[in-house]
Every structure is written in structure tokens, then in C-alpha cells.
A and B are shown apart, each in its own frame.
Chain A
Amino acid sequence: MIILKNIEKYYANKGVKSYILRHVSTEIKQGEFVSIMGPSGAGKSTLLNILGMLEEPTYGEYEFMGEDVLSLNERKRIELYRNHIGFVFQAYHLIDEMTVAENIEAPLLYKKVSGAERKSRVADVLDRFNMVAKKDLFPNQLSGGQQQLVGIARALVAQPSIILADEPTGNLQSAQALQIMDLFKKLNEEEGITIIQVTHSEVNAAYGSRILHLLDGVIKEDIAVEQSV
């Protein structure tokens, strides 16, 4: 599904190149649950952003579902992105001025989904996440875990084939974090959604099927996780 070849990313500052990523090559298959781990500044988020087409690498090749992402023009890339990628953030990034239901609906607006279908999909997702009662609340009226649920619901409503999560539980208490990770696992196993998460937590990583260890921009380890849970 995803093939990265020799991805490099650096910032040049007064002739000195500071590398974020070096020679990153890997392949991620449909249905995998990958955790990217590593210390701060290792380049985890940058890698995730490159995977999510929010940043461009300085060098390298990136193939997403058979298409060479880096050679696509913006319109095509957005098209690809809209249809296949859902993002979940550590700080949730919900739009404060919108209710829960409106937040969830937002990506569908950009996908030009018809009004009736939007309603039914939003209702569907709300139902699945047990948030029907909260649909008219604003983000600041929810707890952090609830906000992150909305964030995930928003990522899912567009029916992506892959979810990219940047420390999705970083701002949450452990009980809520477990709940979120359970949800990810369920989505991965039952619906076959590919999930790539950046995390610091070994516990969270254990939910996945594969761990990429990043250190100073280089993949140090690529290990499969024993399904012990």
C-alpha cells in the first residue's frame, strides 16, 4: 500500500544541513497496524506528515496505492488524500466554533458527499461511538477522551483506508488511552483499516502489529509484535 524509498528530509541553514530523516525505506501493507516509536526529535512526526502528504521529503520516492505521490499535482494529491487518509492529532484539533456533529460532518463537505448521505453517515458514526447525546455540544464541553473520540470519528467518517495518528493518547489519562487504543485495534482487525501511529508508549505500541524504531532520522529497528494481548 505504501512504499517509501530512500526518503530524506533536511533543512539547510547557512549551508549546514540538519537532517530530520535519512535513508528511510520501508513498505507498509494494507491492514497493518504500525507504531512509529523513538525519542523526541527522532523524526517520527515528520515521517507521519510525509506519509500523510502534509510535508514533502527533500529526496526519495513515495508510492501510495500504486501512485507516485511526489509527482502528483496538488489537485490529484488532495483527491487521493480526501479519499484515503484520516488524521488523528494529539491535541484533537477540533474546530471550536462547531458542534460535535458539525465537526464530524466537515470532511464529508470537502468530499462533496450529498446532504442526505452526510446525515446518515454522521448519525452512523455518532451511534457507533455512543455520542448521539453529545452531538450538539461544543468541543470545550467535552472531556479530553471524548474530544479525541470525536477526532477519531471525524477521521473515520470519510471512510479512509488508512488512519494516521500522531500521539493520539498523548493528552489523555490512561483509562481513556486504553479505550482509544482498543478502538484502533478493533478498527484495524474488523474493518481492515491500516493504522499508523506515532507513540511514546510501549503499551500503545503493543496494540499494533509492527513497530518502527526511529533514531536520529534513521530506522533502527523494524520488528513485528507478538500478539500477546
Chain B
Amino acid sequence: MFKLNLKIALRNLWKYKGYTAINVIGLAIGLASCLLIFLFLRFQTSFDTSYEKQDRIYRVVSSWTYPDGDFFSNGVPVPLAPALRNDFSQLEQVAAVRSTRGIVLTKGTYPIASSASSGQGEKNRQETNGGQGNTDVKRKEQLFYVEPQFFDIFNITWLSGKPAQALTAPGMMVMSEKTAVKYFGSWQNAIGKSITFDQNTDFKITGVYKDFPQNSNFPFELVASYASFPGKDSKAWGSVTNRSECYALLKPGVTVTDLDQPLKQFIKKYYVDNGPGKENHIFQPMSEVHHDGRFNNFKFTTISYKELAGLAVIGVFLLITACINFINLATAQAISRSKEVGVRKVMGSRRSQLVWQFLSETTLITIIALLLACVITELAIPGMEHLMNDKAAFRLFSEPAVFVFMLLLVVFVSFMAGFYPALVISGFSPALAIKNKISAASAGGLGLRKTLVVVQFTITGILIITTLVVVKQMTFIREKSLGFDHTSVAVVDIPSDSLNLTKLNGFRERIMQLPGIKESSYFIAAPMSNGNSETNMSYDHRGKDEDFQLNIKMADEHYLKTFNLRLLAGRGLSKSDTVKEYVVNEKLLKMLGVLQPEDVIGKTMKVNGREAPIVGVIKDFNNNSLKEAISPLAIFSNHKNYSAMGLKINPKELNKTMSQVEQLWSETFPNHVYEQEFLDHTIENFYRTEQVMGVLFKVFAGVIIFISFIGLFGLVSFIATQRTREIAIRKVLGASTIELVKMLNRSFLYMVLIANVVAWPLAYIITSKWLNGFEYRTNLSIWPFLLAMVLSVLITLITVSLRSLKAAKTNPIDALKYE
């Protein structure tokens, strides 16, 4: 029986090739999108979730409460870890981690591996010495000082060495398998070798561990013993950098709420100097590290649950749209099956048997679609990886979860899409069915089908509007004047140790002689950058610190000119190596309550304990991403802190100049690794998530439009076929082709208009919520809404007209002859 049913199912699918193709393609695209979203969500939610002691692992993070809001950081003061270890009996282990960047040097001791420089690209260089085939490798790398307790908290696989011994003393280092291979050819080779870090510290390799997985927040390639960290004994509770993190393992049975009271006392005990912000620490569950946007992590990638939920919703939307297609087409097709149903019933089939028969047909279609979807997914994965900047993160057939998901998809879709049509078809009265007297009315009310089309178009409408708004906002961001010049500005890292300090002036002179360089400046951070430092300040002997944080940028006298910052009053900085005077922005004046820029010139300001006069006021520029407001800000010189150089380059000579700069740089700082980035690129990176979301929206909106389009086409073809007789009669009565096309279009246009009416408020809520995440945002005008409507009306008109034109043009005689 089953075999027979399957045969009939296949024959039917083959007989109605057009409908089958529409069903399968629509469903396959929907399923493929769902699979991609599932893979992405699964990857994103799997970050650091499978350690043995998972539930007890917490990261300790910091927050400060200011009058104008809270400030959060993943960093903690260096003395926090030993203090926690001392004061909290509830904690089983505490481990501090400190990240740093520097030059790693290995002496040539192994034959050069051809794959040695894969991935890192042009930043690294290898020098062959004396044709021995041996290499000195010099790279700029990130290094982590980690306490050995870290590996008691996080269990990872060790290839060699034991964490308890490998990181106990200064000068010890362990590395990942990948890095060991990179530097020494094989991990066995690495053990016992040594590495020089930043020219002054030698590390001995005491262990190698299996690489941290892609879905880990720890980019740990080189791990040195925390005992080697020069600042490990710091007692500065007031100094926090996001390069210092702290992890804690709770004792079994202890919950995080048990720590509230002790934490309060702890904070009271150690934070004795009262700054303007009230310090606090939070125990953050390890599973939150990848998802809490308030705190960063070493990988600088967080993705909030809200964004993930947004994607999941899109996935569900896609699935619903595809299912609706299916239901519409299946019920539409039902009439052609009515005779079969009648005959089967006369032969004694029970209704439930028929339901199962039709359900299994749906399942068959779903499975075919799923196979196609797997192919589409495989093809789309490289694009997805490219978009996410995550290599090798997605594998379709890597884990059982994917298969479980596929199985669920098949069951869900078959049931969602197949159950209603099956009920309708199996419900036909056999007497009528055999006489071919089943009409559209009895084949599952047209009303339901219309409702489904409205739902489909509502979803399409919402996605079109949202996409248009996202695109508009991204354009707005790209085109908004940031208040400073960021085109053709390159930022080049410079070494900031005292040895090289003396070379800075000479280096700039040589740079300025390059024909392509318009201006250059030393500074700690570009006008808009991730590296914002904030501090408290007092103004004009007001006696106490102001209750807001001042953003400080240390830069030389050329900074204003390099970035084309506009002076409103006073003058720019004069040449100085140390703090001599301040240039401030308008926002600071507003915060201080000063009305005229001229009024602050000559007044003094105390920042970081240094009192100096304000000599200039500049127009506000965006120092944060456009999601945030402009901060009050001061610029002053302090050459010890300069870590980068900005180069304003003639765009026509960009490439040539950059290679000249690199050459000069390498000559000047031979022991360091050249790194540069264009400011435009840095700024674009601020909106990575939004860009990714933008692309996803565009793609999925396109997919949904396509699915709706072919679904509509199928439905129209069906309706046209079904109304062939009516159309023919009307034609005989004198209707012209145009009038018939109009008639068929009318009901669809009403549906689209209703769908838009439903979609507008929903889309308005969604988009305005999203836009609220931006401090600077485009106006939510009527245009995206109108455009979405026009677009959907156009699509409907084209689809319906295409098909109905054909129906209206057929000779009525053909339709009426064989009644």
C-alpha cells in the first residue's frame, strides 16, 4: 500500500510539473535560509558552553555608576584577582588574564615551512639568513599572561606539558598547536625552544595545547605565565583596562546570589578613593560573555540575543511563507485530485488513510526540497563565512544537531503545510467527487487561501520596509559628516618605548618630504576610534571634580590640521612634548555651562592632576560610533603616549606613498613590525554588525519576495485555470482581454493593499526600535512604506497579469466546447 501510494505520489508530482517545481523550489529556498540561520545561531550560541565546570564559571567584570549613566567594562583592576582569592571563600579558583601585543622573535632553528605565513598575510615577514634554509621569524602577536589556575577552570586538551607546572614561573610559555606549527614546524619541535618577546624578554616553551575552538572567546595563541607580567603586583585599584580580565570558579553549591553580600563588603573595603563614578563588580556567567554587548571580550565580538532573536524571527517568517505557498498550491490543486479521492472512498478507503496518503506526499516533497536546500546551503556557506569573517565556522554535516534540526524541519513543514490540504481533500463527498462536481468553493474556502496570501504579503511588506530603513540608515551613517576628515587618512602604528621616542621627530621630517604626504601627526588615537580613554577633571578652580568623564586625546600640534578639525576660538596646540595646554570641544563647554567659546580661552583645567590653560575650542566631531553621542573632549600633547601616526595622503598617490612610508618606517624601526590601517576602514568596522544585518536583511528580503512571487504565480495560475470557464463565458458575453486581466488583478490588489495596511504599523514599530539604537539616525519617513507598497503592488500586477493575460487570451471555445 505504501509503495503504491509513493508511486502515485511521484506520478502526481510528475504530472503537475509546474506546481511541483514551484513547491519544491520555494520550499527549498525557504529551508536553505532556515538551515543557514540555524547554523549561524547554533555557532553563535555555542561560544564557551561546553567546559566541564561550565555552570560554575563566571567572569568578573566592572561597572561604574555616574550621574549621567552607567559605564561598563570587561576589564578589572590588576589587584582584583589576588584580593578575590583572599576574601571569597565561596570561590574555588580565581584566575587573572592580561593581554598585550608585541614583537615575537624566534631564532632560525628549523627548516622553513611553506605554510608558515598562512593567514597572517602581509603583516608578517620572514627573513632567511645566509641561505641555510633556516629562518628568523618576526611577528607582531598578541600575548596573554595567564595564571595557571585558568586551566583548572577551563579544561582544554594538552598535547604536552601540564598547566600546573608549565606556567608557574616567570619566563615560561605555552602555545597552541597551530602557533607551534607556525613557528617551529611541528608541535613536538616547539617544546623546550625559546621565543623573544619585545626584544627584552625570553620565554621557554613548556607546553602545547590543542587549539581553542572557533567558538571560543579566547584567541589564545601564545600564553605566558602570569608571573612574567611586569605589572602583576600593581596596587592601583583605580586603573582599569579591558586588557585585564578575571575569571572565577564558584564552589559547587554556591549560587551567584550568595556572593551579593560579600561583594558589597569587598567593594567597600577596597575602593576607598572616591571617584565620581561608583565602582561595582558583576559576576557574569560564562555563557553571557559572547552575548552581552555592554562588555567586550578578547575577541571583540559580541552578538546580542536580540540580534539572534531577530534572525530567528526572519527564519520563522521564511518558513511560514514557504508553508503558505505550499498550502495554497496544495488546496488549489485539490480539485484535480477529487476524482481519485472519490474512487478511493468508493473502494473503501477511510478518511484517515487518505489523510496519511496526502501527508506522505507532502513529506516526499519536503524531503526533495530539503535535499535541494542542502545543496543551496553548501553553496551559500562560503558567502556566509565571508560575511561573518569567520572561517571554517560552519559545516553542514558536522554534528548531529543539524540532522535533528533537519528532521524537525521536515516533520514541522510536512505537518504545517500538508495537514490542512490533506483534511480538505480527504473530506470530499465521494458521490460528488466521482461526478466531477467538486468546485473551488468546497475545496477549502478561497477565504482561507486569501488570508494566507495576505499574511504572506504582510511578512513580505514588513521585510521590504525594514530592509529599506536599514539601507537608508547605513547610507546616512556613511554620508553623515563626522566633523573631521577621514578620507585617505592612514594610521600607522609606531613603537612607543623610550628608545624610539627620540626617533619620532626625525621620522616625521622624512615622512613629510614624501611628495604624496599632505600632513602627518602623532597621537594616541584618531578622532574616531575604539581607543577612548576617559578621566575625571576639574575646571577653573571650581573646587571639585565635574560629575562627568572627560574624553582625552593625546596628540601633537599637527593633529587639528591632519584631520581638518575646525577651530571656533583661540588657537591649536603649540609644539610641546608634555602637557602644556588644552584644546577642548564644544560639548565640554555645554557640559560646563559656558556659553561663548571665547569665554573659556585662558581658563585653566585640571586633568590627571595636570593643571594647564585652555587655548582653543574646536567644533564637535564624532569621537564615538554614531550609535553614541559626542563626548566632552580635550586634546593635549604628551609624546610618551603617542602610539600611532596619522598620514593625510594625496589620494592619487596613495599606493606609491604607502609603500614609501612602509620602507621608511622599516628603516627607522628595524626591530618592529609595520602595521597600518586606513581610517575609513576603521570607521566602517564600527558598523560591522549593522552591515552584516543589512546584508542579511537584503538577502532574506529578496528570498521572501521571491518565494511570495512564485507562490502568487502558482495561485494565480490555479485560479486562472479554475476560472477558465468563467473567463470564457465572460469573453463570450463581450469582455475584452484587458477587462479580464483587470478583473483577475483586482482581488489580488485588494489583498496586497490589506497586507500593507497590516504591515505598516508592525514595520514602524520594528524599524523605530532598531533606529533608537543609534544616537544619530535618519528620519523615519513615509517613503520606505510607500515604496514597499508600490513594490508589492508592482510585483503582484506583473505576476498576475503575466498569467491572467494568457488565460484571457485563450479562445473561449476551447474552454466551453467540452462541457
How many whole Å from B723's CB to the nearest CB in chain A? Answer: 9
Q: Which residues of A contact B258 (CB under 8 A)?
A: none
Tell whether A28 is near chain B: CB-to-CB under 8 Å.
no
B734 with A93: CB separation less than 8 A:
no
Per-residue CB contact flags for chain A residues 76-98 toward chain B (1 = under 8 Å, else 0) read 00100110000101110111110
Bound form: Cα–Cα A49–B737 in Å: 19
Q: Which residues of A contact B188 (CB under 8 A)?
A: none
Given B439, B733, B811, which contacts A106 in the complex, CB threshold below 8 Å?
B733
Per-residue CB contact flags for chain A residues 14-34 toward chain B (1 = under 8 Å, else 0) read 000000000000000000000
Tell whether A74 is near chain B: CB-to-CB under 8 Å.
yes
Most buried by A among B729, B739, B811: B729
A110 with B819: CB separation less than 8 A:
no
Tell whether A36 is near chain B: CB-to-CB under 8 Å.
no
B725 with A93: CB separation less than 8 A:
yes
How many whole Å from B813's CB to the nearest CB in chain A? Answer: 5
Most buried by A among B729, B732, B736, B813: B732
Within 8 A of A (CB), among B700-733: 725-726, 728-730, 732-733
B734 with A107: CB separation less than 8 A:
yes
> Given contacts A54-B811, A93-B729, are A158 and B816 in contact (CB under 8 A)?
no
Most buried by A among B730, B734, B735: B734
B734 with A158: CB separation less than 8 A:
yes
B733 (CB) vs chain A CBs: closest residue: A107
Number of interface residues of A (CB under 8 A): 25
A54 with B734: CB separation less than 8 A:
no
Number of interface residues of B (CB under 8 A): 19
Tell whether A55 is near chain B: CB-to-CB under 8 Å.
yes
Given B739, B812, B816, which contacts A110 in the complex, CB threshold below 8 Å?
B739
B813 with A106: CB separation less than 8 A:
no
How many whole Å from B434's CB to the nearest CB in chain A? Answer: 18
B813 with A54: CB separation less than 8 A:
yes
B736 (CB) vs chain A CBs: closest residue: A78
Bound form: Cα–Cα A117–B737 in Å: 25
B439 with A96: CB separation less than 8 A:
yes
How many whole Å from A36's CB to the nearest CB in chain B? Answer: 16
B732 with A87: CB separation less than 8 A:
yes
B813 with A55: CB separation less than 8 A:
yes
B737 (CB) vs chain A CBs: closest residue: A74
Bound form: Cα–Cα A54–B730 in Å: 12
Per-residue CB contact flags for chain B residues 795-819 toward chain A (1 = under 8 Å, else 0) read 0000000000000000111001101
Q: Which residues of A contact B813 (CB under 8 A)?
A: 49, 54-55
Q: Which residues of B contact A81 (CB under 8 A)?
A: 734
> Given contacts A54-B811, A54-B812, are A106 and B736 in contact (CB under 8 A)?
no
Q: Which residues of A contact B728 (CB under 8 A)?
A: 93
How many whole Å from B346's CB to the nearest CB in chain A? Answer: 23
Bound form: Cα–Cα A159–B726 in Å: 22
Given B439, B735, B811, which contacts A55 in the complex, CB threshold below 8 Å?
B811
Q: Which residues of A contact B726 (CB under 8 A)?
A: 95, 97
18 contacts between A and B (CB under 8 A): A49-B813, A52-B732, A54-B732, A54-B811, A54-B812, A55-B813, A87-B732, A90-B819, A93-B732, A95-B730, A97-B726, A106-B730, A110-B730, A110-B735, A110-B739, A111-B734, A154-B733, A158-B734
Q: A49-B813, A74-B736, A106-B730 are in contact. List 8 more A-B contacts (CB 8 A).
A: A54-B732, A54-B813, A74-B737, A93-B729, A95-B726, A106-B733, A110-B733, A154-B733
